[in-house]
Amino acid sequence: MARGIGFEGINSHYTTFKISATTKAIVLASGVSAIEGKAIALTGNQEVGFGSDGNDFFGVIDKYEDDGYATVQDQGYRENVPAVSGSVPTFGSKNIVVDGAGSVKASGTPTTRGLIVESDSTANVNTVTILIG
């Protein structure tokens, strides 16, 4: 029997941020599940959201609240972060950005907010485990 290692939650840190109007509109149209567990960028003063394609990765929305704020994981290990098919960052990479729709993707420029510790680009999975911070 194969033994797997789980990283989820190790050294996690969470902070409350305001959600951008654009990302809030996604909640209204598609529900909370459309943004929870997704990759985000800083989009303004004390504000986060999906941002634009190529923005620096900042963290992952953990829990959205109806008042327009969310708990954001901004440090620690996070498993199963969505990644863009055909541009899934490889393990060991610090070259990650958001795609503007809640996923991460490989970038030509190293960032300092994340390190990919596991990458799964199998059909219909496209997720990564990130050490945030």
- Tens of pLDDT, residue by residue over 29-55, are 999 999 999 999 999 999 999 999 999
Domains of the chain by residue range: 13-132
d(CA 68, CA 74): 18
Tell me the whole-structure pTM to 2 decimals. 0.93
Sequence length of the chain is: 133
Q: Return the structure tokens found at 37.
A: 């567990």
Q: What is the mean pLDDT of the chain?
A: 93
Q: Which CATH number fits domain 13-132: 1.25.40, 2.60.40, 1.10.3470, 2.40.300?
A: 2.40.300
Residue 91 has pLDDT above 60, yes or no: yes
Question: How confident is the model over 114-129, as pLDDT tens digits?
Answer: 999 999 998 778 999 9
> Residue 89 above 70 pLDDT?
yes
Distances (CA, A) of 27 to 22, 113, 126, 128: 9, 25, 23, 24
Percent of the chain with pLDDT over 70: 98
Beta bridge partners of 42: 48
Neighbours of 87 (CB within 10 A): 16
Residues 55, 102: Cα–Cα separation, whole Å: 11
Report d(CA 55, CA 103) in Å as an integer: 11
